[in-house]
Amino acid sequence: MLTALILIPLIGAITIGLFPDTAIAPTRAKLFALITAVITFLGSIYLATQFDLQAFSLQFVEAHTWIPPIGLNYHLGLDGLSLPLVVLNTLLTIIAIYSTSDQLDRPKLYYALLLIASAGVTGAFLAQNLLLFVLCFELELIPVYLLIAIWGGERRGYAGTKFLLYTALSGILILAAFLVVAWVGGDFISFDYADISTAHLDLKTQLIALTLLLVGLGIKIPLVPLHTWSPDAYVESSPPIAILLGGILAKLGTYGLIRFGLELFPETWSLVGPGLAIIGAISVMYGSLAAIAQRDIKRMVAYSSIGHMGYILVAIAAGTELSVLGGIAQMVAHGLILALLFNLVGLVEAKTGTRDLDALNGLLNPIRGLPLISTLLITAGMASAGIPGMVGFAAEFLVFQGSFSVFPIPTLLCILSSGLTAVYFVILLNRTCFGKLDNSLAYYDRVTLPERLPSVVLVAIVVIFGLQPNWLVRWMEPTSDHFVAALPAQEIALPVISQVANPPIASLSPSLSAPQLNP
Amino acid sequence: MAHLLSQNVWLIPCYALIGAMLALPWSPGLVRRTGPRPAGYINVVLSLLALVHSLVALTDIWGQSATSESFVWLDAAGLTITLDLEVSSLTLGVCSLIASLNLLAQTYAIAYLEMDWGWARFYSLMGLFEAGLCFLVLCNSLFFSYVILEILTLGTYLIVGFWYNQSLVVTGARDAFLTKRVGDLILLMGVVALLPIAGTWNFADLAQWAATAELEPRVATLLACALIAGPIAKCAQFPLHLWLDEAMEGPYPATILRNTLVVSTGAWVLIKIMPVVALSEFAVSAVIVTGAATAIGASAISIAQIDIKRVLSYLTSAYLGLVFIAIGSGASQTALMMLFVFVLSMALLVMATGNIVLNNITQNLTQMGGLWARRPVTGLCVAIGGLSLLALPPLGGFWALVPLADWLWQSEPALLAVVLATNALIGISVARLFGLMFGGVVTDWTRRSPEGLWLLVLPTTVLAGFALHVPLFFAAWEILPQMNTLAPSIGAIVTWSSLLGVAIGSLFYLAPTAKPPVTLVPQPLRDFLAYDFYTPQLYKLLLVSPIGQLSRFINWLDRYIVDGVVNLVGVAAVFGGESLKYNTSGRSQFYVLSIILSVAIFILIMSLPALRLLSAGL
């Protein structure tokens, strides 16, 4: 069953490649790609309905040996961490394909690449073998690079290359980390997650491997200061690709943090936790502040994404049941909201021909403007700024509440920064939606109903999960609890009054104190 | 039937919310054929339903003790957030007040916004406000109070920005949103920090916990200060008061709700969390000092304003300052009475002055004058609204302020002086407002001024009736202060302070030979008051420009430093255009170098705490 989720898009991609180059091909390719994506989505929904909510273990496991000598097995499985992300991926793939313009050069290649990338991401989320994960991770890289570099904006070459260099490095570092974990000391059986453990490694080796891994994932997430590929890649790629990039590809990084960071390095985790929390808080503040200074709305959204990924890092670093759950919820929330924002910003650009804050004005105007798009943009901006009633708030609140007892100061900084989030969204909304529409320029094409559909659907999901977050978190809870239970007990018992005053480092587990490193 | 309604009070906020949802299709132009008016009528009807429901439920549970209901909203990973509702005579009574005031405001808006094309947006937001306010009153949990305050902050942004194509409106909406958001987020910090310590967000449980809790003083102070920040911003108290002034750019009918009920939400929440705030002496005195400073300062500022709505907005801040003094000094019941008086009087003032503003096309007080002969009904309403805000028997304000004065006389005589001075200043301001509008000579702006449509006049006069009946309400609820239990002559002192204020104001602005005392007050002081203590400049200096500069610096840093040595030396062009030959050009090493540098910095930051720990361990 899980294989189908990977195979259907791949087969779809190959079939599209075989389409004849007739005049009718572009729309037909799109339709076919859309059908493929919808089938995959329905497949993932079907899995969700069959998913056992009580179990934390892997479900629907498929295991076949592939290349035993190097430990590569075809081993797939689904748990509460991967399920929401797989569903998110298949959903965003539909939205990306659906919102692609019909006037597209080389449509066959485009849709084929898009489907391959989607299959790669699904594979990475499902993989239960380190090598298989790396394989899927790389499988997604090349198509996305081409999608940026061929169908991107003005500086697509630059952005694409930057993306390629950074992400390739990220893949190498992750692979290196895996190799260290698997090959240094101990008996090597295979790269299956189940066969890998770091218990036998000394602390120093663990730290080295974890650092390699964190840098690799940090590039992907992206975390400050490893983020510089992302604003360029987001801005230069076309809106559907930006949706995939920011909405789901970046989640591979945070997924890896939980799957490999928490699960493979439970003992070392609390050692790097405080540092990660600081980096997370820096990312949040840095992204928000940089977004305030932008004049290009897409770039603003791109920096906002960097900020919001910082929350996830703080949550995972804290490693409490609530914070990890909040982190996973925030991945989904951020994916939905970012996709929504990129979709709307893309529509604004397509209709008005500009993304410049100084040129845009008064789009809320009901006659000549884009009233519905502006309304949705306001909703999306507010959802991203963490206004209650929408999923962003629910997830962020879990993160704040969960990490506060472990890292009070980074958490408070994050809360403070969500004020900065409000600042740049108000700037964005005041400039684009509010203000006086220039009647001499405002001859915009009407937004058709099909164009509105994706954003309306996304807003509905964002609001429904915001009002009823239980429907979102119940998929993840057993798994996140399980991850946290594997961590050594931290001092996070509830009435920790003294922690408020103490620096975050005080809350580290004493069981991990340094003497282990003594020669 | 009545019992059924009182068992399902959760429906009360839902009516308005349904109204808000139903209005939406008209808003972005989905329904064009009917024009936007049906959206308004739907909301008026649903407000009426909410009012009927709350009144029937109120009569059903009248005199019974409070009951509470609880629904689980979120249950995950050891965190259970329940939605607690408290059903009591007080909460249902306040719901009735909210629904009736919103009904009046919506009726008023039918006339006031007759020619406006934004009806759907307007009524949708009014519905949202009613729903939020009712829900806030009914809910008994700090978490959901925060949630509502935050949603209302968004509502304020949208409703202040109603006429969004004017630049002043846009900046007003922005400042209202951001100022209130600052307060909300600090409150959120308090909410997040409170749970691990207290283990609950239920107000009743919190009060119980606070009675026995022993907190480290520093923690208690930080926590309590975080908790009062939200109310301070909501109630437009110093130093977060400027938003209310700028929010006056919004439409008049929305101001009816905003200047009365919406700002009062802050005081309501503050009353509820006061047991926790009381854990810190410092925070309690912060509440009182903030209230006192705002009461004196804002009432003085209101005397120097020439815009009718700004006068009213500073009067709002000033009166809520008095409420803060009451809450801070422990007189919660008096604070609620004051809020009741304030809501009715201020709503009346806003509505009545709106009648004038609508057909005289100006809200500049210097262009007004001589309206008494033309608008006696409205004039009477302004007079009733203004006087009932003061402590002037037999009107409502007196019965609310006298218990406060009595309480302060026994506990804090210095604060009594503040209250009396504020009362007098409000008196001057109200008399000035009335004098400038209705006294004096007719100007070009006021030459023709008929009473407006009945939809304007009827809500105003109905509200005037309510305002006049406040003492009777108090008597019926048996909370009218017994004069014989009060300190001797406290009633007279309070009355004299009001009379003094009104007399001074009338002397300068209402008397036939009145000459505005502009020459009496030195220019710098006048400017200081007229420009609102130069608060906008202060904000700019302390907050806006530092954040702006920091963000520009970060952007510069991002562009030229973090984004690699490459861009610095102008190698970016290598990757530009269609060129994919990055690997044939040796300069991409620069890029790799920058990546490596970034990686090094990343590792360094990440490992700092760990290294510190390790070295400490070694």
pLDDT in tens, B534-562: 888 888 888 888 888 888 888 888 777 76
pLDDT along chain B (618 residues), means of 10: 81 90 80 82 92 90 83 82 87 92 92 85 91 92 91 90 86 88 90 87 88 85 90 89 87 91 92 90 92 92 90 93 92 91 93 89 86 89 92 87 88 89 93 88 85 88 92 86 78 90 86 68 80 82 84 81 54 43 48 66 67 59
Contacts of residue B509, Cβ cutoff 8 Å, sequence gap at least 6 = B431, B432, B434, B435, B436, B439, B440, B516
Residues in chain A within 8 Å Cβ distance of B607: 211, 272, 275
At B258, list the tokens.
């905003």
Q: Which tens digits make up the pLDDT trace of A108-142?
A: 888 889 999 999 999 999 998 888 898 888 888 88
**Can you tell me whether residue B1 is helix, strand or coil?**
coil
Could you tell me if residue A289 is inside a domain? yes
Q: How far is A137 from chain B (nearest CA, A)?
A: 20
What is the predicted ipTM? 0.87
Q: How far is A157 from chain B (nearest CA, A)?
A: 5
Percent of chain A with pLDDT over 70: 93
Residues in chain A within 8 Å Cβ distance of B30: 372
Cβ distance B77 to A480 less than 8 Å, yes or no, reads yes
Could you tell me if residue A351 is inside a domain? yes
Could you tell me if residue B344 is inside a domain? no
Write out the residue range of the structural domain in which residue B571 sits. 563-617
In Å, how far from its chain's centre is CA B582? 58
Tabulate helix, strand, coil % of chain A (nearest 5): 70, 5, 25
- Spatial separation of the C-alpha atoms in residues A463 and A388, rounded to whole Å: 10
Among A295, A296, A321, A430, the strongest candidate for a mutation testing the B interface, having the largest count of B CBs within 10 A, is: A430
Q: Give the residue-averaged pLDDT of A235-257.
A: 90
Q: Among A430, A501, A514, select the one facing B174 at the smallest CB separation.
A: A430
Taking CA–CA distances from B25, the nearest residue in chain A reads: A372
DSSP character for B66? Answer: P
Number of structural domains chain A divides into = 1
Q: Which tens digits make up the pLDDT trace of B488-500?
A: 788 888 899 999 9
Could you tell me if residue A220 is inside a domain? no
Could you tell me if residue B43 is inside a domain? yes
Q: What is the pLDDT of residue B316?
A: 93
Could you tell me if residue A68 is inside a domain? no
Q: What is the pLDDT of residue B591?
A: 59
Task: Report A:472-491 residues touching B (Cβ under 8 A).
Answer: 473-474, 477, 480-481
Number of structural domains chain B divides into = 2
The number of residues making up chain A comes to: 519
- Spatial separation of the C-alpha atoms in residues A330 and A396, rounded to whole Å: 6
Count of CB atoms situated within 10 Å of the CB of A153: 15
Sequence letter at residue A196: I
* Closest CA relative to residue A426, chosen from A461, A457, A384: A384
Residue A509: pLDDT over 60: no
CA dihedral B566, B567, B571, B573 (to 10 degrees): 140
- Spatial separation of the C-alpha atoms in residues A195 and B103, rounded to whole Å: 68
Could you tell me if residue B63 is inside a domain? yes
B34 touches chain A (CB under 8 A): no
Residues in chain B within 8 Å Cβ distance of A290: 551, 554-555, 558
Could you tell me if residue A31 is inside a domain? no
Range B195-226 burial, b when 16+ CB lie within 10 A, else e: bbbbebbbbbbbeebbeeeebeeebbbbbbbb
pTM check: above 0.80 = yes
Cβ distance B151 to A508 less than 8 Å, yes or no, reads no
Cβ distance A513 to B613 less than 8 Å, yes or no, reads yes
A206 touches chain B (CB under 8 A): no
Q: Among A375, A416, A435, select the one facing B27 at the smallest CB separation.
A: A375
Residue A276: pLDDT over 80: yes
Write out the residue range of the structural domain in which residue A431 sits. 272-494
Could you tell me if residue A411 is inside a domain? yes
- Spatial separation of the C-alpha atoms in residues B270 and A56, rounded to whole Å: 43
Size of interface A-B (CB pairs under 8 A): 245
In Å, how far from its chain's centre is CA B481? 28
Taking CA–CA distances from B148, the nearest residue in chain A reads: A388
Q: Among A215, A275, A496, select the one facing B196 at the smallest CB separation.
A: A496
Taking CA–CA distances from B120, the nearest residue in chain A reads: A366
State the average pLDDT for chain A.
84
Return the axis-axis angle of helices B11-23 and B119-138, rounded to nearest 10°: 160
- Spatial separation of the C-alpha atoms in residues B200 and B205, rounded to whole Å: 7
Beta strands in B50-125 (DSSP E): 67-76, 79-87
Cβ distance B76 to A325 less than 8 Å, yes or no, reads yes
Q: How far is B584 from chain A (nearest CA, A)?
A: 13
Q: Which of B114, B140, B166 delimits the end of a domain?
A: B140
Could you tell me if residue B19 is inside a domain? yes
Among A167, A397, A463, the strongest candidate for a mutation testing the B interface, having the largest count of B CBs within 10 A, is: A397
Contacts of residue A241, Cβ cutoff 8 Å, sequence gap at least 6 = A96, A114, A144, A147, A148, A151, A152
* Closest CA relative to residue A496, chosen from A510, A506, A486: A506
Sequence letter at residue B99: A
Cβ distance A435 to B598 less than 8 Å, yes or no, reads no
Q: How far is CA A149 from CA A162, A164, B271, in A?
A: 10, 10, 59
Q: Which tens digits make up the pLDDT trace of A446-470?
A: 788 888 899 999 999 999 999 888 8
Could you tell me if residue A246 is inside a domain? no
Q: What is the pLDDT of residue B589?
A: 57
Q: Which of B112, B140, B168 delimits the end of a domain?
A: B140
- Spatial separation of the C-alpha atoms in residues A184 and A203, rounded to whole Å: 12
Contact status, residue B146 vs residue B181, Cβ threshold 8 Å: no
Residue A499: pLDDT over 50: no
Q: What is the pLDDT of residue A516?
A: 37
Q: How far is B224 from chain A (nearest CA, A)?
A: 14
Range A18-29 burial, b when 16+ CB lie within 10 A, else e: ebeeeeeebeeb
| Cβ-based burial of B394 (10 A; exposed 0-12, middle 13-18, buried ≥19) | exposed
Q: Which tens digits make up the pLDDT trace of A195-217?
A: 777 777 778 888 888 888 888 88
Cβ distance B551 to A290 less than 8 Å, yes or no, reads yes
Q: Which residue has the higher pLDDT, B33 or A289?
A: A289
Residues in chain A within 8 Å Cβ distance of B554: 286, 289-290, 293
Q: Which tens digits make up the pLDDT trace of A409-438?
A: 889 999 988 888 988 899 888 888 888 887
Could you tell me if residue A176 is inside a domain? no
Q: What is the pLDDT of residue B566?
A: 47
**Can you tell me whether residue A102 is helix, strand or coil?**
coil
Cβ distance A411 to B572 less than 8 Å, yes or no, reads no
Cβ distance B76 to A161 less than 8 Å, yes or no, reads no
The pLDDT-based confidence of A86 (bands split at 50, 70, 90) is very high
Residue A478: pLDDT over 50: yes
Q: Among B74, B189, B580, select the one facing A415 at the smallest CB separation.
A: B189
Q: What is the pLDDT of residue B313?
A: 93
The pLDDT-based confidence of A146 (bands split at 50, 70, 90) is confident
Helices (H), B488-558: 490-509, 523-530, 535-539, 545-556
